[in-house]
A and B are shown apart, each in its own frame.
Chain A
Amino acid sequence: MATNLNIEVTPLPRVEGHGDLVLDVKNKKIEKLQMRIPESPRFFEAMLVGRKYTEPSHITSRICGICSVAHTFTSLQATEDALGVKLTEQTVKLRKLINHHECTQSHCLHVYFLAAPDFLGVGSVVPLIKTHPEVVNIAVNMKKIANEIVRIIGGRAVHPITTVVGGFTRIPSEEDLLRVKEMLLSLYPDLETSLKVLKTLKMPDFERETEYLCITNKEDYALYSGDIKSSDGWIIKPQDYLTKIKETVVQHSTGKHCSASRDSYMVGSLARINNNFSQLSDNAKTYWEEFGLPVPCYNTFINNIAQFVEIVHCVDDSIRLIDELLENGLDEAKSVPDVKPKAGRGVGAVEAPRGLLIHDYTYDNDGRIAKANLIIPTNMNYANIEKDMAKLVPEIIEKTEDEIRLACEMLIRAYDPCISCSTHMLNVELINK
């Protein structure tokens, strides 16, 4: 039993980037609880100043290798909004296809490689190669297919090339899309097997209701575009994000903290399912119900399951998109960019795998950036992570220090924090004074 604890996990392993957790408990009371983010600040808002409108998507893609596609599209949307560029249906559908498979790739990496070892009591995916070869093979194959789809359409799996302001430098052929469809259809047995395995994992019993934010639109389960929706009952245009979302600099983190209607909110798969469940594919809804989970669901650990269910949705929806693209026939001319620089402000909002992502650019007359603001999903989650931990730790204070340390790490990992993204990594520090 832990009366006094001094836990420091530095660096927090199996998260993308660099973060530390500091937890100091005296006489069962939390004295200090911080997610410290010492990851090097990158200063993208400064790097973007003066750059030509063709470049921000290539620059901001490098904020994060794992969500390079989401950054690319948010950036393109912001630029297109500012320059008044309209896209064809073909371009939007091809972009959605790429976006879906960055989501699948990233969720797959997180659920199978980074989070699953916790539930199976090991330190990494490496021992699982021996103990759970079938699951590791499924994960490797699924990730490979997702990366291959991004590569076929985007030109490269990490940091896509073909996606530019106003369209594509090159579109895939109909044969390419048929090949992608084959690959997607081959995934269904793997999803079934995964469902059986994931159902056996015991998710920690923990609940804390909070505000959930994501994008939403009438046409589909919003991942690529939409207005910003809060579970607290408001919807705003992306351009008006500053009327609701506040950012503050805190000393223990190079990642800024965010708040909206309350003092913290959550973004990511669980937020999207809580806000937009009815628009999931029927198949994905069935998967969710297989886990016996409610909607909305207030257990942060279930974000892992929500990610898996979104993989199912992305596979289903990609097949729909491909069928529609093939039915209309692919036409390179429909994705050739036609862009003229002009002054103005534009905002892009996309669901990155780990949550809402916003880019806000102001261009000058020559089509160069005068001002940029980027709000990153992991930053949005920091305050909420600290609030979750403040509730979780007293609930498990009777456990051993190792168990508490692991539970805290698992909670943070459930958010799938991408700290390189938020400019900022994870390290658990239990302090015992």
Chain B
Amino acid sequence: MSKPKVGVFGLTGCGGCQLEVLNLEDQLIDFINAVDIVHFTEAISEHSDTYEVALIEGSVSTMHDVERLEHIGKVAKIIIAVGACACTGGLNCLKNLYGTEKAKELVYGDKKGWIDAIDTKPISEYVKVDYFARGCPPTRSEIVDIVRSLIVGKTPEIPSYPVCVECKRLGNTCLYEFGMPCMGPVARAGCNARCPSVKSGCEACRGSIDDPNVNAQKDLLSQYGLTVEDIMEGFNLYNACVKIEQKTK
């Protein structure tokens, strides 16, 4: 695909993933020259409804999101989900845990009838997603890699191993040794162990690996005096919409 027309869209989210595209800095001007950006509300006034590739940030949290996403799904040939909210529903799913109706009432009181809000879901619940740039936010290089791969016609490589592999490669001391919970053993890598590398437990913002060894994680937790509940609470931060199947031993 040469010089594809690209649209950057935001559903319900913080705009941080779109910001990471603007934060490409050294690569930003090359990026703008390599693709034809026809829609990017956060950065340009012009907008077009003809594009091949859609980069979508944010989760589906309103009926308005559903309408927009279904429209984008009809126009775009390739859909890239950018960031935790688009990929897994992300942190917005915490609202589902609280209860959407209850949340409307808490925040908007007797005016809750004015508010359009539905249970949060990842975009893959509504459209076919071709590639996932995971993370909160994804790394800039990963966004560029996916788009670059598409231009040269190869499949982008997304790691399917856990964050622990990256910590080992970097020579990080395991955070369990400091008594800190960490989702590293089951969380999908690709961020170069960004959080554990600065002594902060992995929060699995990239979701879990395809086939997480939940039992090994449980053993590890009990070895360090932690429980599954401790860790699930952390896992829920970005993955409350996702169910992890627990295999029987």
Contacts and interface: CB of A to CB of B under 8 A. Distances in A.
B194 A113 contact: no
B14 A63 contact: yes
B227 interface: no
Given A40-B12, A46-B102, A58-B237, A123 B44 contact: yes
A78 to B, nearest CB: 17
Interface of chain B, main secondary structure: helix
Contacts of A49: 98, 106
B198 interface: yes
Interface in B80-120: 90-92, 94-95, 98, 100, 102-104, 106-109, 111, 114-117
Interface string B116-128: 1100000000000
A386 interface: no
A57 B197 CA distance: 19
Given A161-B194, A169-B200, A249 B111 contact: yes
Interface stretch (B58-66, B159-167, B217-225): B58-66
B103 to A, nearest CB: 4
Contacts of A129: 29, 32
B18 interface: yes
Interface in B133-188: 136-137
Given A59-B237, A65-B137, A159-B16, A251 B114 contact: yes
B115 A66 contact: no
A317 interface: no
B32 A43 contact: no
B52 interface: no
A160 to B, nearest CB: 9
B48 interface: no
Interface stretch (B20-28, B71-79, B206-214, B241-249): B20-28
A14 B47 CA distance: 11
A136 B117 CA distance: 39
A64 B14 contact: yes
B133 to A, nearest CB: 14
A42 B92 contact: yes
Interface in A7-53: 11, 13-18, 38-43, 45-47, 49-50, 52
A190 to B, nearest CB: 14
Contacts of B94: 46-47, 59
Given A155-B194, A155-B197, A164-B200, 11 more contacts: A43-B98, A43-B107, A47-B94, A52-B233, A62-B90, A68-B16, A129-B29, A162-B199, A170-B200, A249-B114, A420-B13
9 smallest A-B Cβ distances: which pairs? A65-B16, A124-B44, A46-B103, A123-B45, A40-B12, A47-B94, A155-B198, A43-B103, A144-B25
5 contacts: A40-B117, A43-B107, A46-B102, A155-B194, A158-B20
Interface of A: 11, 13-18, 38-43, 45-47, 49-50, 52, 55, 58-59, 62-66, 68, 109, 113-114, 117, 123-126, 129, 136, 140-141, 143-144, 147, 155-159, 161-162, 164, 169-170, 249, 251, 254, 418, 420-421, 425
